[in-house]
Structure formats: C-alpha cells, structure tokens
Structure 1
Amino acid sequence: MSTISKEQTQQIPYSHELEWPEGLEPWTVIDETGLQAEPYAHFAWMRKHHPVLRVHHPEADVYFVSRYADVRKGMRTPKIFRSQVNDETPFAFPTLLDGAAHMKIRKVVAAAFIPKAINQVADRVEEVASELVKNFVAKGGGEVTSELTRPLTMATISGILGVPYKDVEEFNMWTESVWAWFARVSRMAPGLPGDEENAQQLFNYLGGILDRLYEEKSESVAGHIARAWKDEGVLTRQEAIELCVFVFIAGFDTTTRLMANAFLVFKDYPETLNRLHDRPEDAGAFVEELVRFRGPVHKAPRRISEDVEIAGVTIPAGSIVRLLLASANRDEEHWENADKFDMDRDAEGHFGFGHGVHACLGAPLARLEAKTMFRLLAERMESVDFDLAKDAVLLKGNSLTNGVESLNVRVKARKA
C-alpha cells in the first residue's frame, strides 16, 4: 500500500486558499454562518474545478468529494470508505458501524421494518395528514414544519416505534439534543449546551418503553428490537435503546425536512401542484425527484483505510472524507438538466436514501409519509407563496443535513 508524505499532502491547496468566484465563500467543514445553507452553487463549482476539496479543521483535514461517479465508488466500497470515523463507536447507530457490527444491527432493523409493520401505520398517516392539511389550507397557510411536517412525522414514528403519541412533544427537545450530541462526538460539530444530559433522558425513557413493549408482545418496530435484546441476545440493553433512538431520529428529522423542502419546489415549479391534483398517482415520481433534487441528507462521512486516488488527487490513508450525496445528485455528467426539477425524470440511482450496504431501511416509511402528504396538499391547495429571504430559515451548522428549518407560507385553497 502506497503512502503519502506530509509534504505531498500539503501541495493540495486548502479551500480557503483557493480563488472562489464572487458570491461564494470558501467551503468549510461546519457551516456556522449559514452561507452554505443553499449549497448548490458551491457544489457546481467544486465538481468543475475541485472535485476533491481539502478543507482545514482543527482536529483533522477533511476531503469533500462531489462528483457522482466518485461518490458512487465511495458508497460501494465500504471496506475502504469506512463509516466508523471514530476510533471508538459512540452509539449503536448503523451509519457509524462497519462489517459484522454493522450487519448485526442492520439485520435487526430489517427484520423490524417489514411491510407488516409499515402497513400498521398507513391508516394513521392518512388520518393525521388529512387533518393537518385540511386545517393548514383552511386558514391560508402558516409555518410548514410546526404545523404540517413535524406533527405528521412525530405521529408516524411514534406509531412505528410503539411510543404513546401523548409523549411525543417531549421528543422535540430530546431529539435536538441527541442529534447535537451525536454530531459533536462523531462529526466534528460544536454541539449544544447540555446535549448529553438531555439525550440521556430520552435513553432512559425508551428503556422503559422497550420493557413494556416486550411484555405486550408488540409487533411494532421497537417490539422487535426488544425481542432481539431479551429473547435472542443479539443486542445488549444499551444497544437496543440506542437503536430505537436512531430509528426515531432518522425517521423524524430527515422526513420532516424532506417534506418541508417540497414547498421550495412548489414555489419554483407551481405546475407540479396541478400535476399532482390531476394525477395523484404521480406522487411517487414527485417524491423520488424531490429526494434527488432537494434531499435532506447532504453528506456521508467516511474514514478511508488506504490511500485512494480520486480525480487525480491521492487522499492519504486514515483521512476523513465526506461524500457529497446532494452534489452527486446534481451532477450534470450523470443527470441531464440536473439543476431542474423534472417529475418525468428517471431518478433511479440517486443517493437520497443512501446506497449499497448503507441504503436507508426506513425509505419505504418516508415514501409513504411524503406521498400521502403531497397527494393531500395538491388535492386542497392551488398555490403557495412566500419570500425565501424573509419567510424561510434554512438549516446551518449541521455536518450532515440541509434544508428548511422553518418556513412561513401563504396558500390558496382550491375551489370546491
């Protein structure tokens, strides 16, 4: 195995040493100012000029890979592009594990996320989404995440896990803390004050839920996880709790943001609402293109196990790499008119739900929620309007996801 000397590595310029075009600040590891909240212009420039971008961070340099073919290579070679970035894995999250440890956790989740478990919440999704959309459109709009997308994902994920819906309000604070703690200890993010202490409250709560669901012989996802711990001995108690936390956060945060991002598409491509109204069966195509075009998961962190050459740049073994999934999904070399939203596009091969051994097992649930929400919105809503600069807050500071944090919109109801 070849090695790269310190002198050779230093010949690759840092992001802050490059001449970025006017209007684009140098790319950073953590977006603390919000300048990377809408990153697609950055991605386009990186793909064309620096498809492997070296970025300074006090802990370690990070290499950002932006082209589709290179991202695909990284996602398909997990023995080289390893998901376990830290020397010690802080949580039993599938996205942080490799090899046998990853497959053990993944098998438990796969066995739990069977169609039967998802079908159990289909009626709940329809019922909750119908009421939310009816009220939202009737009053002429409002704040999208708090009034539409978050309540639906909360109701759905509580149903899939077997968590009482009356308790889900507590999860707003808990999930924010867990996400911040996770990002701090495993993704070089700054975290939040008290994040670990607050996260432990969620861990304790879910431990009690697992005990109850086991006694009830629940067929929910958490019930399956409890049996993998208590009956099969596949998981420890802590692993079972952490896996439930992962399922909740992964199912809640990303789907909430995905559905909120759709309003950006409705504003820029108003014809999509009429299309979905006239042909509700096209909701599936809308979701797949949305996940490609504005999927919430933008980066897949990896640590490489050996020297890797990408686009003429050799990245030394042990380096931290971030595969830019959202950039790959806009790569003009792979997608024709990649920066345009096209419901008729064949979006197969996008990385919005991961790829390879780390493909998202919860994708069917996310698709169910999103298709239901968009079908009902198009049924009742004729148009949407907002000022992106005044009415939207886009996520900043996160090391993994992007998209709408909050968005106030005005909507016009369809005539009966």
Structure 2
Amino acid sequence: MTITSEDAAKTRKLPYSHELDWPEGLAPWTVIDETGTQGEPYEHFKWMRRHHPVLRVHHAQEDVYFVSRYADVRKGMRTPKLFRNQVNEQVPFAFPTLMDGSAHTTIRKVVAAGFTPKAIGLVTDRVRDVATGLVDEFAERGGAEVTEALNRPLTMATISGILGVPYAEVEQFDTWTESVWAWFARVSRMAPGLPGDEEISQDLFRYLGEILERLHKENSDAVAGHIARAWKDEGILTQQQAVELCVFVFIAGFDTTTRLMGNAYLVFKDHPELLGRLNEHPQDVDKFVEELIRFRGPVHKAPRRVIQDVEVAGARIPAGSVVRLMLASANRDEEHWGPSAATFDIDRNTEGHFGFGHGVHQCLGSPLARLEARTMFQLIPARIESLDFDATRDLELLKGNSLTNGVARLDVRVTARER
C-alpha cells in the first residue's frame, strides 16, 4: 500500500536493528553476516515476524529494510512496479536477477529456450548415472563430507551438461565461482567481496567466451548454444552480455542446488525415520523435496528497491530504499503455515512457498533443481540405513553471504543398507 506524505508523518520512524533489545542468544541482525551468528537464522526470523516485521538495518552504503511476514513478502514479490528488482541504477552484470522490464524479459526468454521440458529430459539419465556412482561410493566409504562427495559433483556435472560446458577440473571451477559470487555480491549486494575477485572472475569469462564461440559453430541445442545465437545471429545480446549470462546460468545452476541438498542432512538428523519412509515409499520423494525447499531452501532473501514511500506492517519505508524480502522467513510464518510452520512435515501442503521465488522473477532452473534433488533423495534412502554427525564438530554453515544460507561443509557417518 502506498502512502501520502501526510500519512507518512503519522507513521513511526523505525529504530535500527542494533538499537533494539534482542533476546538473549540473538545478536542484532546485520546486512552481511561476517561473524556467522546468522548461519541458523530461524529464531531471528521468528522474533522479527512477531516484534519487528519491518526491520531497519544500518549499513555503511545505505539503510536496508528487512520484511519478514508471508503476506508482506508476497505483496512485495507480486508488485514489481513498486518493489523493483533492479536495485542498482546501472546493472553491473547481465544477470536476470538484477533486471526489470523489457531487459529482464529479453534475457529470460533467451535462457528459457534452453530450459524446456525436452532439454531437462535430455539430462535425466545423466543425472541418475552420476548420482548413482556418487551415492554408491559414499555408502561404501561409510560416509564423507557431503558437499564434496555428493552434491557439488552432481550439480557441476548436470549444469555442465545442460549448458554445454565441459566439466573441467572441479578445483578450477570452485575458485572461479567463489570469485564471481564475491564480485557480484560486492558490486550489487553490499558485501565486502574477496581480494582479486574481479581479476579471477575474468578468467572464467574468457573461458566461457571461447565455449560460446565453439557452441555457435556447432549449432548446439544446449543453453549456451541458445545464448550464443542470441548474440551472434539475432543481435539480442552483446558479446559481454552473452558471456555474463552464461556465467550466471552456470553458477546459479549448481550453487543453490548444492546448498539445498546439503540442508537435507540436517532434516535427516532430526527425522531419521524419513530414511526408512523414503526407502519403502520412494514415490514420496516429491513431497520430501518440496517440503525441504520450503523448510530449508537456500535462497533466503530477495533484494528490491521501492520507487515511492510504502507502508508495510504499519511502518513506513521511504522512497528509494533497499528492501530485502525474507523468503525463508515467509516460508516459516505461522500466520500462513499454521503452528507447525517450524517443523518439517513431509505430508504438508507446500503450495505457495517462496523457495524458487515468485512471479515474473521465479527461478527458471527450478525443474532442474527438483530433478537433481529428487534423484539424490531416491538413491540415498535406498543405500543408507542411518546417518550421524556432531553439529558442533562436523557442520559448517555459510557466513558472510548476503543472499543464501545453509550447509557449507558437513561430515556425515553412515550405515549402508545390505544390498
């Protein structure tokens, strides 16, 4: 709801997060989690929804307003003309998540051409073959670090296949993608970045530029082939935009799905009976994955900029302000999901969750992410009878990230089923 200047004078000016009396054990919420206190943020979200559904947070560049209730997040996601997705005046990269209007529509159409059901179907066997080998080795070893042993190899191999990019050394891609995310976050999301992030990222840009040239000559049907033709044949994209879009699809295609699948082990730790249920009823994997996306989806925030004064939950957000719509908080809002919102329930009706965004900016790669997660969590229960880990010793959560949360590293010990 928009408000007039006269109404604005009546609405209270919000205190800053660091000025509030937070409960014991909860540090004041910050824009960038540099200390790791927001690695498991759900108690923060619960308190914010109840007491400060619009939370004003100080940052050196500009204040940021965090919106945490389901109804308010939904309204923000559904009114892109008021809550603009394009936060920066000048878009620093040709990433669809940074654009609005015709520019976003054009970019989205180029990517969508490569994410059709037919394209997803072409990699289904590849996903199962790669995942089967990884899970078999994981079970035989009695467990391992799940990101390195299972999730990253699967998502890397899958997105490489659908994009049309050779699956090169994992270590090299790790360095590249870490640097690109850091550069992206520094330029567009108020994060501090990493030393040399731009210079290292340019190596990936040059590499993918060469791939685009090759795929164009081959008239490839892979996603990068569509991007190459949009650049060289149709003139929809410049060379720089084509390369940047290819970078976006590659990184977005594996990073968030890697986090999602890592988060599943936190659920299995709390609900060990789910391994038995999914083994006996593998058709329930669809329900498991959807509830996982709601309950521990990796993308926690959707940045927006409001173009005029707006009232949310009785608080005024001034025109031009940066807003972060808290998707993960909305996905646990008791007002929408009921009193069991903070409990994983495989039988829950998850319709309406924000795990893949909402509206015109909904994630194009969600069918691929679902395919990978479904495949992995059909195979894991079929091969693993039980698992165990010590969260104080074996678990490392992401920190310093402005958009995503979840497992960074997790060492798991498992008991394999008899074959």
Q: With the length of structure 1 as denominator, give the TM-score of the two structures.
A: 0.98
CA distance in 2, matches of 1:85, 1:343: 36
CA distance in 2, matches of 1:259, 1:101: 32
CA distance in 2, matches of 1:3, 1:165: 56
Amino acid across the alignment from 1:35? T
**Superimposed CA distance per residue, residues 43-99 of structure 1 (whole angstroms, 9 cap, x where no aligned partner):** 000000000000000110100000000000000001111111111100010000001
Which residue in 2 is equivalent to 1:349?
A: 352
Q: Which ranges of structure 1 fall in alignment gaps of 5 or more residues?
A: none
Which residue in 2 is equivalent to 1:324?
A: 326
Counterparts of 1:156-171 in structure 2, within 5 Å, are 156-171=158-173
CA distance in 1, matches of 2:169, 2:25: 45
CA distance in 2, matches of 1:284, 1:6: 46
Counterparts of 1:8-407 in structure 2, within 5 Å, are 11-336=13-338, 337-407=340-410
Q: With the length of structure 2 as denominator, give the TM-score of the two structures.
A: 0.97
Shift of 1:4: 8.6
Shift of 1:10: 8.3
After superposition, the Cα gap between the structure-2 partners of 1:37 and 1:214, relative to the gap in structure 1 and judged at 3 Å, is same
Q: Determine if contact 2:12/2:315 at 8 Å carries over to the other structure.
A: no
After superposition, the Cα gap between the structure-2 partners of 1:397 and 1:232, relative to the gap in structure 1 and judged at 3 Å, is same
CA distance in 2, matches of 1:120, 1:226: 20
Shift of 1:2: 3.1
Instruction: State the percentage of identical aligned residues.
Output: 72
CA distance in 2, matches of 1:154, 1:275: 29
**Superimposed CA distance per residue, residues 128-148 of structure 1 (whole angstroms, 9 cap, x where no aligned partner):** 100000000111101010110
CA distance in 2, matches of 1:10, 1:57: 20
Q: Determine if contact 2:8/2:316 at 8 Å carries over to the other structure.
A: no
**Superimposed CA distance per residue, residues 371-392 of structure 1 (whole angstroms, 9 cap, x where no aligned partner):** 0001000100011100111100
Shift of 1:8: 8.1
Three-state SS of the structure 2 residue aligned to 1:333 is helix
Of 274-283 and 293-302, more deviation after overlay is shown by 274-283
Which residue in 1 is equivalent to 2:418?
A: 415
CA distance in 2, matches of 1:188, 1:15: 17
Q: Which ranges of structure 2 fall in alignment gaps of 5 or more residues?
A: none
Amino acid across the alignment from 1:389? T
**Superimposed CA distance per residue, residues 258-306 of structure 1 (whole angstroms, 9 cap, x where no aligned partner):** 0000000011011111111011111111110000000000000111011
Shift of 1:117: 1.4
CA distance in 2, matches of 1:346, 1:319: 35
Q: Determine if contact 1:121/1:156 at 8 Å carries over to the other structure.
A: yes
After superposition, the Cα gap between the structure-2 partners of 1:412 and 1:319, relative to the gap in structure 1 and judged at 3 Å, is same
After superposition, the Cα gap between the structure-2 partners of 1:346 and 1:77, relative to the gap in structure 1 and judged at 3 Å, is same
**Superimposed CA distance per residue, residues 329-387 of structure 1 (whole angstroms, 9 cap, x where no aligned partner):** 00000102100101111101100001000000000000000000010001000111001
Amino acid across the alignment from 2:413? R
Three-state SS of the structure 2 residue aligned to 1:101 is helix
CA distance in 1, matches of 2:115, 2:205: 21
Amino acid across the alignment from 1:42? H
Amino acid across the alignment from 1:207? G
Where do 4+ consecutive residues of structure 1 move more than 2 Å? 1-11, 166-169
Three-state SS of the structure 1 residue aligned to 2:418 is coil
